[in-house]
Amino acid sequence: MDSATYIAIASIITAGLTTGIGCMMPAVGEGRSVASALSSIAQQPDAAPTITRTLFVGLAMIESTAIYCFVVSMILIFANPFWNHIIATHK
């Protein structure tokens, strides 16, 4: 196998791991956040609007991590910056 094949294999494996772990862990974090918010609302019903607003801001920040991981994996698969280096060195 040549170096281009190794880069392709590494890119695909890295993209898979990035998508898998990068979407799994934020989902766990979102679940824990919602569970904590519901527990807090159950204990303090008067603070529900404040807790809900803070929860949604936190969920948006957690979800952005998963989106960034997805974007990185798409870059590795479709617009890999290492391919330009391989093409330049093999000419």
The per-residue pLDDT for range 13-65, each reduced to its tens digit, is 999 999 999 999 999 999 999 999 999 999 999 999 999 999 999 999 999 99
Report the distance separating Cα 84 and Cα 39, nearest Å.
52
Q: Confidence band (pLDDT; 50, 70, 90) for 68? A: very high
Per-residue model confidence (pLDDT) at position 90: 72
Give the list of residues 6+ apart from residue 71 with CB closer than 8 angstroms, or none.
none
Please give the domain boundaries of the chain with CATH numbers for all domains: 3-81 (1.20.20.10)
Q: Confidence band (pLDDT; 50, 70, 90) for 82? A: confident
65 or 84, which is more confident: 65
Q: Look up tokens 């019903």; give the residue.
A: 45
CA atoms lying within 13 Å on the CB side of residue 12 = 5
57 or 90, which is more confident: 57
